[in-house]
A = this chain, B = another copy of it.
Amino acid sequence: MINTDLWLTEYLNNSMGHTFKIKKKLFHQVSEFQTVDIVDTDYYGHMLLLDGMVMTTEKDEFIYHELITHIPLLVHPIPKKVLIIGDGDGGVAREILKYPYVEEITVCEIDKIVVDACKKYLPVTAIGFDNPRVNLQVNDGTTYISQFKNHFDIIIIASADPVGPGEGLFKAEFYKNVYDALTDNGIMVNQSASPWSMQTQFKNINKSLIKIFPIVKPYISVVPTYPGSFWSWTFCSKNIEPLDAINISLSEKISESCKFYNSEIHKAIFVLPNFIKDLLAA
């Protein structure tokens, strides 16, 4: 009997990969920028891929979205204006909408086709796009950011990997523009690659950031569908420390709506194992 199961494999470094059983292909389009696919997987539900790389899935999206959002939102004293670069699936915007005092959430996503596909096939993630506080800008983040000075309280860079259309979001010039676009209490968080399987990228991102921001603190967890095992985000700010300033009572309230984040996790994810400390010190 022939096995007709479909499997999708994302390879890393041409030497390992993650493989997922597919129930159905839901969406496929080659946009101006990349190949956009959404498939229905057996274990992870609907999965978004850009140029064949897994971006998010229904089952594990909460980890990435909660961790990139609630760390900066819960240490800034009172953010009013937040910019998200990337986030075509809308998951970061959805998490920010939990804060009633945030007045303006701008999502700057380069590829409208990603947004439309996510609205249709990842509706739980993309729900925020329908909210009047969310302002979608279909634009290149590197161009968009350069218009602003001293404007945003928080900027979140929810980029894809440093290849393809997201490459410019890992460059020193871009980080400098992000710094300038932030207010005096400003905070930036970006996804900063895998400190396990993408160590050179992780190191280079941190090296670039410490030249620009006075406070740079990477934090780690795991996104099960990313091939890198350990994953990192980096907290950068002009003067706020990510652990000194946690709004504990609000953090506890936000945690009630979270599947991953809680006040203790907020601190624990900043603790780095020796191999990552050594990597950063090298």
Contact = CB atoms under 8 A, between A and B. Distances in A.
Contacts of A222: 222, 229-230
A269 B221 CA distance: 11
Q: Which 6 A-B pairs have the closest CB atoms?
A: A224-B229, A15-B42, A268-B271, A268-B268, A15-B43, A260-B273
Contacts of A196: 224
Interface of A: 9, 11, 13-21, 41-44, 63, 196-197, 222, 224, 229-230, 255, 258-262, 264-265, 267-269, 271, 273-275, 277
A59 to B, nearest CB: 10
Nearest to A20: B16
Contacts of A265: 271, 273
Contacts of A19: 9, 11, 16-19
A44 B16 contact: yes
Nearest to A278: B259
A7 to B, nearest CB: 8
A63 B276 CA distance: 12
B264 A271 contact: yes
Contact of A20 (B15, B197, B261, B275): B15
Contacts of A260: 273-275
A269 B265 CA distance: 10
A262 B262 CA distance: 22
24 contacts: A11-B19, A14-B42, A15-B41, A15-B42, A15-B43, A16-B19, A16-B20, A16-B41, A16-B42, A18-B18, A43-B197, A63-B273, A196-B224, A222-B222, A222-B230, A229-B229, A255-B274, A261-B273, A261-B274, A262-B277, A264-B271, A265-B271, A268-B269, A268-B271
B261 A13 contact: no
Given A224-B196, A260-B273, A14 B9 contact: no
Given A222-B230, A224-B229, A18 B16 contact: yes
A14 B18 contact: no
Given A255-B274, A260-B274, 4 more contacts: A15-B20, A16-B43, A261-B273, A262-B273
A229 B18 CA distance: 11
Contacts of A267: 268, 271
Contacts of A224: 196-197, 229-230
A20 B227 CA distance: 12
B20 A18 contact: no
Contacts of A273: 63, 259-262, 265
Given A262-B274, A273-B262, A18 B21 contact: no
Contacts of A271: 264-265, 267-268
